[in-house]
Amino acid sequence: MHMRTKGRIDLGETELPRVELRTEKEPVKGISSYQAIPELVEFMCLAPLTSGVHTLGLGRVAIILDEETGELVGMKCFVKTGRWKTGEAPPQPDAEGALVVMYPGGDEEIAFIPAEPRFTWHEESCSLRISFQGDTALVFKVADRLLAGVDRRGRLTDIWVLDLDLNASFR
């Protein structure tokens, strides 16, 4: 059942959206950052946006998509570092390009799927893995600081934020 409020749709679904990799396009250029107060991990595209955006909430993670193309242009995540587990280094990508998310919210600006992401920190690579659900079959380099994992059905399973400096903060 979908709950609709002005400009937002709560999908009530737990299945994550399908994604597609556009290999003819370069991965997005951007920066990853961490802010201690509030505890925020963020990826921001450096290129100016030429259209509006859609926001897809996946639990504590907000994925920002170009409204016209569906391409990932940003990501924000509010989570306490005390909830992060430690884990393995990020995998080598199988391919690279622009990640397009099949936005499930239609014309609504914001859509929400009640996902419960898990967070894993790898100290040596300074990477944070955000795992949603499913078994990762392929890993794509979708930005100079982001990897995305997908399952065999083409659904998003993971996001790796790379080169994340926990001691720095952008203001």
Express each pLDDT in 86-114 by its tens digit.
Answer: 999 999 999 999 999 998 888 788 888 88
User: So what's the pLDDT on residue 6?
Assistant: 47
Residue 144 to residues 23, 73, 105, 138, 157, Cα–Cα distance (Å): 14, 12, 27, 17, 19
- Please state the φ and ψ torsions of residue 105, each to the nearest 5 degrees: -90, 5
Alpha carbon distance 113, 61 (integer Å): 10
Using the structure block, give the residue that is written with the tokens 């587990």.
85
Q: How confident is the model at residue 159 (pLDDT cuts 50, 70, 90)?
A: very high
Residue 3 to residues 10, 42, 113, Cα–Cα distance (Å): 5, 28, 11
Residue 152 to residues 18, 62, 85, 139, Cα–Cα distance (Å): 10, 23, 26, 11
Are 27 and 144 in contact by the 8 Å Cβ rule? The answer is yes
Q: Quick one: how many helices (H) and strands (E) in the chain?
A: 0, 17
Adjacent-strand bridge partners of 12: none
User: So what's the pLDDT on residue 81?
Assistant: 83
Give mean pLDDT, residues 41-45.
94
| Domain limits, the chain | 3-161
The whole-model pTM stands at 0.88
